[in-house]
Structure 1
Amino acid sequence: MTATPAPLSYAGHSLDAATLLRLYEHLLRPRLIEEKMLKQLRGGVISKWFSGIGQEAISVGCTLALEPDEYIFTMHRNLGVFTSRQVPLLQLFAQWQGKPAGFTKGRDRSFHFGSAAHHIVGMISHLGPQLALAVGTALGHKLRGEAKVSLAFTGDGGTSEGDFHEALNIAAVWKLPVIFVIENNGYGLSTPVSEQYACDSLADRAVGYGMRGLSIDGNNVLEVYETIRQLAEELRHDPAPVLVECRTFRVRGHEEASGVKYVPDELIERWQARDPLDTFSDYLRDRELLTEEHTATLTASIKAEIETALAAAAELPNVQPAVAEELEDLFAPAIAPAPTPAAASRELRFIDAISDGLREGMRAYPELVLMGQDIADYGGVFKITDGFLEDFGAGRVRNTPLCESGVIGAALGYAIGGGKAMVEMQFGDFVTCGFNQIVNNLAKLHYRWGQAADVTIRLPVGGGVGAGPFHSQTMESWFTAVPGLKIVYPSTPEDAKTLLLAALHDPNPVLYFEHKALYRSLSGEVPEGLVIAELGRARIVRPGAALSVITYGAGVHWATAAAESTGADLEIVDLRSLAPLDYAAIRATVAKTSRVIVLHEASLTGGFGGELAAWIGEHCFEQLDAPVRRVASLNTPVPFAGGLEDQYLPKSRLIDAITELLAY
């Protein structure tokens, strides 16, 4: 990027005059909007701006090369995508001003939004995750036999993210029609590309994934347009991913407050001489396709559009905060499952009930796709999907590379495109590698711009099986603190099936926790057929009057054993789901017994029991005859050796806690 860039050349194309003038108009419109937005920024009308001046040829060329219903995943500097897709200026201005008429109702800013109507999905601040979403929409096209491509933008800095690697790798392995476009503009904020990567060209990375890689002049709108148009046409009929590096330059700051003091003045001057709008307009004038009069007329017309939309935006009401609306928009509306007649039942192990529920889900939802490591031929490490490949086919039962973030992102992208996805974590502990996608993409998507995220993630969790620190954790409290996620934690074979079907039925992101120690040790009656439970309803496992034990998962069985061994008159409440949470059931059992133990397997400090105890203390204080007692695992990692694990788990301390609380 420090070398003198070559002069732009528009020779050698075969485009007609109408196409050339169309490209010019689409370059001019975002430039004029940006110039106005910079004034709006200085005037305090908007609060932040990431300028794409000098980079418009990439957004415009890529967008016009695609069909209007092909998904584009944008970044900071892709205003030309929105204008070329004819997103209404009034709604854009409302978005940037934080008004409720914008795409996010004032909940997010700048280009952190999407528009399903325009097949645009905007970024989150973490840069890399949107690449895997493009993989997911492309997967949907391929499975449905649609001749469509998806295109995702990233920057030179974003290529350093692990999500870049994961997305490209999945797309290559699955041979998906995705065009990954790198806007290599010289700097990641102030970090030059020389400190971002060591290869000569970012396009060189493509060979490592077994895909084509091209490096083109990102300031040449004709080169961008014709390259992307040709690639898209090829990929529609012969799906395979392609990596395209667009060489350009950021002549303004990362965002306006950053400035460009760290950039040599002469470097900016060299690239300004290659401005995509100025050089292209000069070319059109040289060919006598564009006159000064035409330019002035078009400029005046676009400026009038801008001023009209800005005047209308100024009249729009500001946000009027309403708690009920904020909470209501957290989740996509879920259609209640139809009542099911009493079904015949059969005895199944916990693990077989999960498998049965998953099979019923696959039959009920033809758009449901399963993704996970080793889930196809091998049937999963716990054999829950054994035989699924033969029954439902390789398209719907997909082995994935070992990349949790990329897989969750692909599942989300598939859902955005109209599908329904289930991701199996091989072990729940490995969800840490997909944490960002869950808490920043899945959980926030509907709240931000109304896009449902129909993804269920299955998490085999829990100790008691001698698996040590990295295969035994139960991490529900990492996610109960994140609004926008639903959390399910069954304790019986019946619930294992019916709550899994509830998770699959719900159009929102659901984390489904399944305890490994219950897999083959617990059996029970399970209804046959498509029987869907209601999320957010607790269950009274054992009625009692002396003391309530509020728990879930394996804790239900520890509490039951403790009641039997002590003879205490315990009421055991199985929460079944932690989000939504059945507060009415909690209030009712506290009122009934006036003494409460909150029992869970995760370590005591920071566990979900702290939230339960706090809520009881805040809302049920008058009904209590003793302090709420938490019983949980030690504040250590989960140990391997049997004696140490028994000491770690809370069941060894539960009876003492019951005795002490009854005597309080």
Structure 2
Amino acid sequence: MPTITKSNIAYDKRNLSDKTLLELYYNMLKPRLIEEKMLILLRQGKISKWFSGIGQEAISVGVTMALKPDEYILPMHRNLGVFTTREIPLHRLFCQWQGKASGFTKGRDRSFHFGTQEFNIVGMISHLGPQLGVADGIALANLLKENKNVTAVFSGEGGTSEGDFHEALNVASVWQLPVIFCIENNGYGLSTPTSEQYNCKHLADRGKGYGMESFILDGNNIIETYTKVQKLAESIRKRPRPILIEFKTFRRRGHEEASGTKYVPQDLMDEWEEKDPIDNFRSFLLSKKVLNIETDEAYKAKIKVEIDTALESAYAEQDIVPNETTELNDVYKPFEYTDFTPNTETKELRLIDAISEGLKQSMEKHKDLVIMGQDIAEYGGVFKITDGFVEAFGKDRVRNTPICESAIVETAMGLSISGIKSVVEMQFADFVTSGFNPVVNYLAKSHYRWGQEADVVVRMPCGAGVAAGPFHSQTNEAWFTKTPGLKVVYPAFPYDAKGLLATAINDPNPVLYFEHKALYRSIRQEVPTNYYTIPFGKAALLKEGDAVTIITYGAGVHWALETLNNNQDISADLIDLRTLQPLDKETILNSVKKTGRAIILQEDSMFGGIASDLSAMLMEQCFEYLDAPVKRVASMETPIPFIGQLEEQYLAKGKFEGALKALLSY
């Protein structure tokens, strides 16, 4: 019989039953044996990459077993134990790692970059930090639903250097969200040691700065991890609040296998190998006669059979056959548009009033719709669009946010994962840069990656003409029309603004909804008083003619109308795009084929703007119909200046009439 060695970790059995102790051990053993098999397959070239969590199993297993199965966990790429403890079939995991159809991402992403609603797991993206804010959103949903659930989210010590970490902790603390932030402090961020990652003794100390409780746990001690997290989770369910836990552990293999561990001193590696969570727990259980050698061997044999069987079935599954239609259809969640017809009763509204009324009626229609943004509650927002909303809907649904655009976009994603719609107001469209990453990498890609919709509308007050200068005047729609997975709406009239906003909120896909500030109080129109919708991808033909097609949107629509009113002899089709993604290509192409000339007007600067893509499309698909080159008119290639005379020079408005006449005389 093998000698029973003494454990190097001091375990306290406490009141745990033998059954629970064995379950803890088995659940740690399973990911370890899977990892050992994966390392062999990696060397054989049968998988492409592996991020090893060997030596950190106690954290994944302890946290997962401490939570209820219906409570969400947001793991990292060293948390295989989360997935196996939640009993995801190994066949599906292996298919995921081999890029097979039975995986979770249909071959579109690898390793642990996926989520699964079936098992209440939301996987990471490579940018690491955003999942912390997503956990805030899931925790907020738990508060709103009053289901007394806890959310746990993982980060490495390197990830705590990201701004998203600090924003997420701040939001969670301010809103007292029931979330456990788990930091796996494993010594290195790729090759960078902790001494070069942060300059405090313990990362748990940061919890004090955010007004939250924090704890330091031995991440290699499965009993300490499980019992403490279980106790904290029970406490949070009774008194919702965030808690920060720093798990001290070590990464005993490379960041990923190709990077190796040559930068790690050997004596440090030896020290942590002696603290192996599985070897030590096995020794403890054997010494306490909770486990015997025969049972241990039986566990290993059972797991190895499960691994081999699942691998065989994964290998046997047919490789994915590329299909363009399938790929394109999965970028967006299918949306069955429902037409709500406008009534005949109308009242004159400014653009800003129409948006406010549309948002209010959507809040009434969708009883759990949440709106979030800076100063939007009692103050009513800087443009007063949500004035009176707190009194109508309460502070749970109308939420002032700290100045942290990234975390709030992520929170909206978390709400969507929990089945709650949300509208996020960027105080100015320019400020979306502070939340750009979660918009283009999380909201835009989630449905394509693992079938999870991002049911989020981001309101974007934009545009020049109000002397607001370089940081409050951009019209930055081209940043998002370039990104597959996002929809982009840009109304020019109150009627359209109200109906399109309702549709945007109904649509389960992420929508960037642009509102031109210069039009807020300058444009009036008779608008139906009831709740109504307007379909996406349907442009408005505002004027009809046969000499030229004018294609524009936003403020450009009104510049074009002014020009045509001043030049009654010009016979033009004037197309207001209304939505830029999806785009009404049919209306554009049919018009240009009829008129033979096209001019595209945008407020944005020229290079890289949507006018360039429209021009290319017309040259490719209407070349034989054209009587002149397609003309683009845009603003100057400079940032937007503040003073009036410079702003006037900057804008495309003053260039349009001359360009139009030059095109007609070509």
Give the structure-2-normalised TM-score: 0.98
What secondary structure sits across from 2:376 in the alignment?
Answer: coil
1:284 counterpart = 2:288: no
Per the alignment, residue 452 of structure 2 pairs with 451
Offset, 1:339: 4.4
| 1:9 match: secondary structure | coil
Distance 2:510 2:541 in 1: 26
Equivalent position of 2:186 in the other structure: 185
CA contact (8 A) 1:214 1:244 kept: yes
What is the deviation of 1:342? 3.7
Structure 1 CA distance for aligned equivalents of residues 431 and 490 of structure 2: 18
Q: CA deviation at 1:429?
A: 0.4
Instruction: Give the structure 1 partner of residue 167 of structure 2.
Output: 166
* Partner Cα separation in structure 2 for residue 389 and residue 335 of structure 1: 31
Q: Does 1:259 align with 2:267?
A: no
Structural mapping, 1:195-594, within 5 Å: 195-340=196-341, 342-567=343-568, 568-594=570-596
In 1, distance between residues paired with 2:337 and 2:564? 35
Q: Is structure 2 residue 112 aligned with structure 1 residue 111?
A: yes
Aligned equivalent of 2:96: 95
Return the alpha-carbon distance in structure 1 between the equivalents of residues 260 and 487 of structure 2: 42
Among 644, 659, 662, the residue aligned to 2:646 = 644
Q: Distance in 1 between matches of 2:575 and 2:14?
A: 72
SS of the aligned residue for 1:281 comes to: helix
Q: Give aligned-pair identity as a percent.
A: 58
State the alpha-carbon separation in 1 of the partners of residues 579 and 359 from structure 2: 18
Could you tell me which residue of structure 2 aligns to residue 3 of structure 1?
A: none
Letter in 2 for 1:298: Y
Residues 445-472 of structure 1: CA deviation (Å, up to 9, x unaligned): 0000000110000000000000000000
Q: What are the ranges of 5 or more consecutive residues in structure 1 without an aligned counterpart? A: 1-5
Question: Residue 68 of structure 1 contacts residue 118 of structure 1 at CA under 8 Å; is this kept in 2?
Answer: yes
Contact in 2 for aligned 1:343/1:529 (Cα 8 Å): no
Amino acid at match of 1:380: G
C-alpha displacement of 1:592: 1.3
- 1: distance between equivalents of 2:516 and 2:423? 18
The one-character-per-residue Cα deviations of 1:233-261 (angstroms, maximum 9, x if unpaired) are: 01111011000000000000000000000
| Alpha-carbon offset, residue 570 of structure 1 | 1.7
8 Å CA contact 2:13, 2:223 repeated in 1: no
Distance, in Å, in 2 between the alignment partners of 1:360 and 1:7 is 63
Opposite residue 141 of structure 1, the aligned amino acid is: N
Cα separation, 2, equivalents of 1:46 and 1:425: 42
CA distance in 2, matches of 1:536, 1:41: 47
Decide whether the 8 Å contact of 2:339 with 2:532 is kept in 1: no
Task: Give the Cα separation in 2 of the matches to 1:524 and 1:565.
Answer: 21
Is the 2:73–2:120 contact (alpha carbons within 8 Å) kept by the matching residues of 1? Answer: yes
**Any gaps of 5 or more consecutive residues in structure 2?**
1-6
Q: Does 1:613 align with 2:619?
A: no
The offset of 1:191, in angstroms, is 0.2
- Cα 1:662–1:338 change in 2 (3 A) is closer
Cα distance in structure 2, aligned partners of 1:10 and 1:340: 67
Residue by residue over 1:283-338, the C-alpha shift from the partner in whole angstroms, topping out at 9 and shown as x without a partner, is: 00000011110011110011000000000001101110001000000011112114
Counterpart CA distance in 1 for 2:153 and 2:302 is 31
Structure-2 separation of matches of 1:589 and 1:456 = 31
Check the 8 A contact 1:420/1:455 in 2, yes or no.
Answer: yes
Pairs within 5 Å for 1:8-157 = 8-11=9-12, 13-157=14-158
Per-residue deviation, 1:75: 0.6
Total equivalences in the alignment: 659
- Structure 1 SS opposite 2:115: coil
Amino acid at match of 1:604: M
Stretch deviating more after TM superposition (612-621 or 172-181):
612-621
Amino acid at match of 1:639: P
Q: Which residue pairs with 2:4 in the alignment? A: none
Is the 2:12–2:223 contact (alpha carbons within 8 Å) kept by the matching residues of 1?
Answer: no
Q: How far does the alpha carbon of each residue in 1:363-416 deviate from its partner, in whole angstroms, 9 at most, with x for none?
A: 111121000000000000000000000000000000000000000000110111
**One-letter code of the match for 2:614?**
L
- Consecutive aligned runs of 4 or more in structure 1 exceeding 6 Å deviation: none
Q: Is the 8 A contact 2:11 2:221 kept in 1?
A: yes
Query: What's the Cα RMSD here?
Result: 0.9
Q: How high is the TM-score relative to the length of structure 1?
A: 0.99
